[in-house]
Structure 1
Amino acid sequence: MTLHHSAMYVALAAVLASAPVLAMGQDATPQVSTNKDSGSSKQKVKSLETIQVSATKRETPLQQTPVAVTAITADALDKERVMTVQDISKLVPGLQGTSEGDHDVTTLTMRGIGNDSAKTEYADPEVALFIDGVYAPRAESATSLLLDIDSVQVLRGPQGTLWGRNSTAGAIDFETVKPDPQGGFYGNAQMSLGNYSQSGQKAAINLPISSTFAMRVAVAHEQHDGYVNYQNPGSELPSVAQQQTAYLASGGNPANFQPINQALYVQGGDKYNAQNQSAARISALWQPVESFKWNLSYEYFLDRGTPDMNLMQNPRPGQDFWSALIDVAPYLHRTSKTVRSRMDWQINEDIALTYIAGYNRFSGSSNYQQDAGAILPTSFTTGGVYQDDRTNYSNYSSYSHEFDLKSTGQHAVDWILGLYYSAEDNNIRFDIPIMNGTQQGTVNWQGSFIQPKETVQSEAVFGQAVWHVTDAFNLTAGARFSDDTKKNEGGINWGWAYDPDVPQVPISSSALPQDVGFTVSQHNDATYHKNKVTWLTRADYLFSKNAMVYASISTGYKSGGTEDGGALYKPETLTNYEVGAKFTFLDGHLTWNSAAYYEDFKNFQLSAPIVYQNGNHGLGFSNVQGSTKVAGFESELTLQGHDDRANLVFSAIPKKTLGTLVYAGSNDYAGLPPCPAQSNLSSCMNITGHTLPHAPDASLTAIYEHDFHLSNGGRITPRLSSQYQSTQWLSVFNLGPGDQQKSYVRTDLSLRYTEPQDRWWVNAYVQNVANDEIRTNAMRFQEANGSFVYVSQYLPPRTYGIELGVWF
């Protein structure tokens, strides 16, 4: 850590130590007095011990729930300007969010475990996402601008027993604000303006129709211009004479020479890294009798922004950092439609039944420049490459059903039994034209991946029981039986046939590959089917209502599946050993929650785009043999006073070691050594024992705010939010500085004025104050002289603006 970073934290520590009573946690006001609306923020000093969570599928106090869970409320999401699931990562110990460009999705890593390639119709995440308890298999459609969210609960460690599929490393549940039949007509609205032509609007209203029925309508729109400027090809490309020399040196026919057409380089229109998203939700609550309640919602989400661009880590001389030489115009077009339903029926005083169902239809298409403009062409057909990663179409349909039957009231044993079913039906066409030199050049390789039907079916039965041995000592046991089937029906990978009689041009989105010089490189038809039992054992002891310790052993599981060529990959399993403690002090105004864990991973799944030894391209999956081991410690300290609030979130992951994988390949990393004949890869690397990516040794977030009361009764509230992370790898290859994000401190500041009657507020903010360049991934390209050029995606540059909110 640099000297000025150290000085900043010393100063922050002094401020925290001197504050009379502070509040540290995911929310400056974890439970606020509002006009029945999570969007308002009338302050009262509330006890932190009153926060409720549903980590055990029943409402329990956070401080008496023996699970490593972070609770984030709407106020914290608003004050931290959380727009996407990636934005919550600094509020949760051990959580990292990484962005990937060609599919423009966010992938999550928790406690060192994640999957950077969980971004196609093939791959599943290790961190499961839920909205109102409904599992969302596609992260890019799941959160929909985090529209009208009441709270977020992040469960760390495997949650396979109660929370369903693909929660190997953890689960995140977003709870939306529900209609309120008894609360009257009320709502909130907010607008914002900022640099990069940023503008945002959102509003929500509660509509009581009767004493038993209410509706809520919420809408949001967020947009900003792209961060990535267009480089001028005239100042970057070689002269015509240099182009001709390079072309002739490559053996080209002088009669066929043509200068690079600079008009093919994009100089206007939408830029990369632009946002243009809209969302709307209408929800209803019907409670005809006290024992029955039905929540139903419909949500519509549009994304018309642009993908995030890979940028050169070291720009060419004379070029801005946030710029690229662009020959593929950015394009992103996504639509998501979702229905979610939850019925709760109190059958009698001892038993309750819950039925949760959901349906989602998500479709999208995009264009993305995968080559990043990192290697300059030397002529129209030599030097660099033109690579357009193009999603012609993608359609994902998913639905799920869950029945939970559980005990209620006071019993010696609390129990829950459940049935779960989910299914997906997906299709996609993904084209990759790669041309030598420029778009005018000869074909390097072209592929068209057409998967007309890929299905997933998952069935499960589960149960969990808590035996209250004494008033203070509890034992928990649970198990889940999961049965998973995945099918690829009719999937074909088409590759370029190198027929000299076929024109060498990039394939168009309307062309059928068999008609324009392609041949079948792989048939992908395959069926995967396996089942697995996961389980949990836990003991917890309450020393008092203010002190609890627990110890647990839990297992996680993610199914295997099919991959290109019809091959199958194995499921992965995780055993997690954990001890934790939760303490409450100062009449509930101070909480301190910590957990230490050790994870033993078997058959950890890694996926990446690869080239086979026969020249075919595809997406390959590998299972890491032996044990992948992770050990860490995490802690959250929360204090809350009348005028001072703050939080500290700490994570340490000193051990994160891969098991055995001798042949690991990825087209994202040029220059890997040639693979031996016994491997099917053209190039690969032995990554046995390497360090897991996105798992810094240490991470610390500090948030502090203070209310200054004005003579008119209003409040001025400055807020500091700062995160430190130590150096971390960005891939499993551990290739050196270009494959790392060095240690950094990223700081956000805001200043809010709240009107005396809490009817409106105005807030000025600056995010990424120092304008730091913080990488979230890495790739590398190889120049003709053998040197490497690294590119990365980055967290946004410095942004600033002003927000206005009203409550009514």
Structure 2
Amino acid sequence: MGICNRFVGVSMLALMWAGAAEAQTPPPADPGASTAQADSTTAEPGEVIVTARRRSENLQRTPLSGSVLSGTDLAEKGIANVDALQFGTPSVVVNNFGQGIDFNVRGIGKGEHNTQTATGVITYRDGAPTFPGYFQLEPYYDVANIQVLRGPQGTIVGQNATGGAVFVNSNDPIIGGGYRGYINGNVGNYSQFGGEGAVNLPVSETFAARIAAYGLRRDGFFNVKGPGGTKYTGNNGDQRHAAGRLSLLWKPTSQLSVLSKTDLVYLDMGAYPASPFQNYYKNFPIGSSTPNPTYSDLYDINLNSPQEARDKFFRTILRVNYEFGGGMQLRSVSAYAKGNTKYRADLDGTAALTPVTADRTFFDSVDERQISQEVTLISPDTGRFTYLLGAFGVWNKYNFLAPFQFVSDNSSAPGAASEYRLQGINPNRSLAAFGQIGFALTPQLKVELGGRYTASRSRNDVDILQFGTPIVAEQLTKSNDFSYKASLGYEASRDHYLYGFVATGFKPGGLNVPVGLGIPAPFTEETVTSFELGWKGYFANRHIRTNFAAFYNKYKDFQVIVGNPTLPVFGLEINVPGTTKIKGIEGEIEGRFGGLTLGLGFNVLDSKIGQFFALDQRGTLSLAPCLPATGPATALCRNLGGNDQTYAPNFTFNANASYDFALGNSTTLTPRINFGHVGKQWATLFENAARGDRIPQRNIINAQLALRHGDLTVTAYSTNLTDKHYPAALNSGLYFAGSPRQYGLKVQKAF
């Protein structure tokens, strides 16, 4: 990718939205086929159907590690948007800095908060890839299911991915399904009020529509004061969200279906308040017994600059599927999306006016447009030999609006001498051809082989005013790769399945934004080779379902941001010369016994960055050479080889339990509890605990009590039940708080 979105030096950052909103109420049963990649088939008892591989498959008989969460699962686990996925699925860690997001699976995905770095975890909405950087807080409403695939993806789907892929599939219209739908409303603390609903419209025997809508308002979590304790007149994070979706399904024949979905989304996040990391600790320096005079709660913040955070966008997707007489399918998925993100922040997190660097601010307004097209030819599933062939293209363009609506002010004296301003475009393109074949060697043993060729390019065409000095950046970089996957799946018995695979993945290279002296060199592509062994099983007459996997990943040319060797106060994207290694084990267990449901998931991870040298620009300023490959090593030029990957905790764990009490007269009472643990993690590769780099572990409990009578459900809920106040991320010396306790009441009526 081309241009840094929130960073130019230590003064630019992307911010984390601190809210994980209440879970949305599940849509009614029988929502219709998922848009994922194929029409859904009815699951047998104990089966979980996954369609992300372009076929309807039993997850327990598929050679990959993945999780499927239905719309009901999302509601019962308190997952309302991407932030909360980490508390409901293994191996997922989400660090949300506002309009930008770091989404990692198994410690890899996106660990750098910018548009330069492509993401290694691709998120799809209704079969089409979404924006790679901004616009990530789109709510989960009227969702059929979310499918999370872990490990490299690319031989069976759209974009290449080194860490995994997430498929968010909304409910489709149902031809002949009648006027069916649901409506719900919720109220809660922080003056929260919201609702959503959807209705199926059976227009004719060949045509149906579905309309869904969502809205939310909530006051901010923060108590913000201005200089000297005066009233702060800016926004403290008040939420005002609205979204709507129109889905149209036309099936003129049994062979042809045409499905379109159009989303309109307006997300006013208000602001992303944050405070200096040292304020979080009662004793400072960290680990000492010295009382900290600046100690304050994470939600008590002092600021003197206005703040703003707003996303608005639309997306339209068209999926055409034609099935030939022999069962072969031709599928096309087209998508167009366009949006604007606007952001304003107090970068020092204080109300101080002195010293000169204590009043830093940032503002930008950026348009983003993305077009994607995928065409796949899919063989029938009935024979021993199966295949899939596809072609894919995505065109993404960032437009940093004129006149210079990207401004970082580095001091309390606004003006050209202290500002970095930028305007222009950063277009990116990726084209690919992919395919996969499968052959059943025996009824129990199947081998699959897949390959993908990807050609990517990124271009900068920008104008910069760096402290009053004009800079013109016109650069182009290209990268390409052939990746592959070879897997073997063995059905040892009716209840046990074993698999193993080796796969490679690819993230394209990109361009560095000009800062300091001269035009910086591009960074090259990142590749991974992944090995995985897995075991999936049923126990207790299929009342218990398990999924375990062990994986080992080797990354070449790992992409990271470090200080610029010629001017270290600015960031520079580079490739790690040494080999980065990430390995671990993960598992899921789910049990259902009558009205009792139990589940847990875990991940144990070990990551080691390859050898390279870098300056920690937060310390003493040094202009001495510190080259990534050779150093030389000094007290300031550190060898970071062997350090942990950022935001890759060594252990994550989640568990849930619920029980349905039958009260008679079509009435049930269901208490539910969900627990999520995310272990300690490093926020920077320098692993300097004294500068707040060590993000503490978090343990989050969500609870619900649902009373259901017929089609009416009333649910009392609480997220973060024990009201843990914890830092969820660090950026430019600021801690960003996770959500405090939220509670309320939801009422849903299905019809």
> TM class, shorter-chain normalised?
0.7 to 0.9
- Correspondences of 1:569-584 after superposition (within 5 Å): 569-584=523-538
Query: Given the alignment of the two structures, is residue 623 of structure 1 paired with residue 585 of structure 2, yes or no?
Result: no
- Deviations 1:260-286, CA, capped at 9 Å, x for gaps: xx7xxx6135313x3221110001000
Query: Given the alignment of the two structures, is residue 76 of structure 1 paired with residue 25 of structure 2, yes or no?
Result: no
Q: Secondary structure at the match of 1:334?
A: strand
Cα distance in 2, alignment partners of residues 30 and 297 from structure 1: 20
Query: Given the alignment of the two structures, is residue 689 of structure 1 paired with residue 689 of structure 2, yes or no?
Result: no
Shift of 1:742: 2.6
Matched residue type, 1:658 = I
Give the counterpart of 1:411 among 383, 389, 393: 383
Cα distance in 2, alignment partners of residues 706 and 444 from structure 1: 64
Q: What runs of 5+ residues in structure 2 fail to find an aligned partner?
A: 1-22, 35-41, 281-292
2:508 is aligned to 559
Cα distance in 1, alignment partners of residues 169 and 530 from structure 2: 26
- Deviations 1:442-496, CA, capped at 9 Å, x for gaps: 887310022x22111111111100110000000110000111111112x123111
Q: Secondary structure at the match of 1:141?
A: coil
Cα distance in 2, alignment partners of residues 774 and 486 from structure 1: 38
Q: Secondary structure at the match of 1:733?
A: coil
Q: Tell me which moved more, 675-684 or 795-804.
A: 675-684
Do 2:314 and 2:339's aligned partners in 1 also have CA atoms closer than 8 Å? yes
Give the counterpart of 1:701 among 627, 639, 654: 654
Shift of 1:382: 2.8
Do 1:107 and 1:118's aligned partners in 2 also have CA atoms closer than 8 Å? yes
Shift of 1:739: 1.3
Do 2:31 and 2:144's aligned partners in 1 also have CA atoms closer than 8 Å? no
Query: Given the alignment of the two structures, is residue 729 of structure 1 paired with residue 682 of structure 2, yes or no?
Result: yes
2:330 is aligned to 353
- Correspondences of 1:81-480 after superposition (within 5 Å): 81-101=78-98, 104-120=99-115, 122-141=116-135, 144-235=138-229, 267-272=232-237, 274-313=238-277, 314=279, 317=294, 319-373=296-350, 377=352, 380-382=353-355, 385-391=358-364, 393-429=365-401, 431-436=406-411, 439=412, 445-450=418-423, 452-480=424-452
Do 1:564 and 1:618's aligned partners in 2 also have CA atoms closer than 8 Å? no
Aligned residues: 694
- Deviations 1:566-606, CA, capped at 9 Å, x for gaps: 52101000000000011012333210001000000111111
Higher helix share: 1
- Deviations 1:514-539, CA, capped at 9 Å, x for gaps: xxxx112x432111112110000011
Do 1:159 and 1:170's aligned partners in 2 also have CA atoms closer than 8 Å? yes
Matched residue type, 1:657 = K
Shift of 1:625: 1.3
Do 1:226 and 1:275's aligned partners in 2 also have CA atoms closer than 8 Å? yes
Cα distance in 1, alignment partners of residues 88 and 392 from structure 2: 31
Cα distance in 2, alignment partners of residues 651 and 204 from structure 1: 36
Q: Would the alpha carbon gap of residues 205 and 143 (structure 1) be closer, same or farther in structure 2, given more than 3 Å must change?
A: farther
Do 1:47 and 1:587's aligned partners in 2 also have CA atoms closer than 8 Å? no
- Deviations 1:38-67, CA, capped at 9 Å, x for gaps: 9xxxxxx98553321023221111111111
Do 2:298 and 2:726's aligned partners in 1 also have CA atoms closer than 8 Å? no
Q: Percent identity?
A: 23
- Correspondences of 1:391-790 after superposition (within 5 Å): 391=364, 393-429=365-401, 431-436=406-411, 439=412, 445-450=418-423, 452-489=424-461, 491-496=462-467, 518-520=468-470, 522-565=471-514, 566=519, 567-607=521-561, 613=566, 619-653=571-605, 655-663=606-614, 670-671=618-619, 674-677=622-625, 679=627, 685-736=638-689, 738-755=692-709, 757=710, 759-779=711-731, 781=733
Shift of 1:796: 0.3
Cα distance in 1, alignment partners of residues 102 and 223 from structure 2: 25
Do 1:486 and 1:527's aligned partners in 2 also have CA atoms closer than 8 Å? yes
Do 1:30 and 1:46's aligned partners in 2 also have CA atoms closer than 8 Å? no
TM-score, scaled to structure 2: 0.87
Q: Would the alpha carbon gap of residues 191 and 693 (structure 1) be closer, same or farther in structure 2, given more than 3 Å must change?
A: same
Cα distance in 1, alignment partners of residues 314 and 534 from structure 2: 40
1:23 is aligned to none
Q: Tell me which moved more, 357-366 or 301-310.
A: 301-310
Cα distance in 2, alignment partners of residues 726 and 83 from structure 1: 22
Matched residue type, 2:260 = L
Query: Given the alignment of the two structures, is residue 806 of structure 1 paired with residue 714 of structure 2, yes or no?
Result: no
Cα distance in 2, alignment partners of residues 719 and 402 from structure 1: 41
Do 1:37 and 1:188's aligned partners in 2 also have CA atoms closer than 8 Å? no
Q: Tell me which moved more, 683-692 or 673-682.
A: 673-682
Matched residue type, 2:328 = I
Do 1:118 and 1:124's aligned partners in 2 also have CA atoms closer than 8 Å? no
Q: Secondary structure at the match of 1:582?
A: strand
Shift of 1:209: 0.2
Shift of 1:678: 5.4
TM-score, scaled to structure 1: 0.81
Do 1:717 and 1:753's aligned partners in 2 also have CA atoms closer than 8 Å? yes
Q: What runs of 5+ residues in structure 1 fail to find an aligned partner?
A: 1-26, 39-44, 236-261, 497-517, 782-790
Q: Secondary structure at the match of 1:776?
A: strand
Cα distance in 2, alignment partners of residues 32 and 581 from structure 1: 33
Cα distance in 2, alignment partners of residues 318 and 743 from structure 1: 20
Matched residue type, 1:676 = A
Cα distance in 2, alignment partners of residues 748 and 77 from structure 1: 12
CA RMSD of aligned residues (A): 2.7
Q: Secondary structure at the match of 1:145?
A: coil
Q: Would the alpha carbon gap of residues 126 and 564 (structure 1) be closer, same or farther in structure 2, given more than 3 Å must change?
A: same
Q: Would the alpha carbon gap of residues 100 and 336 (structure 1) be closer, same or farther in structure 2, given more than 3 Å must change?
A: same
Cα distance in 2, alignment partners of residues 35 and 686 from structure 1: 54
Cα distance in 1, alignment partners of residues 595 and 121 from structure 2: 36
2:62 is aligned to 65
Do 2:567 and 2:623's aligned partners in 1 also have CA atoms closer than 8 Å? no
Cα distance in 1, alignment partners of residues 603 and 748 from structure 2: 34
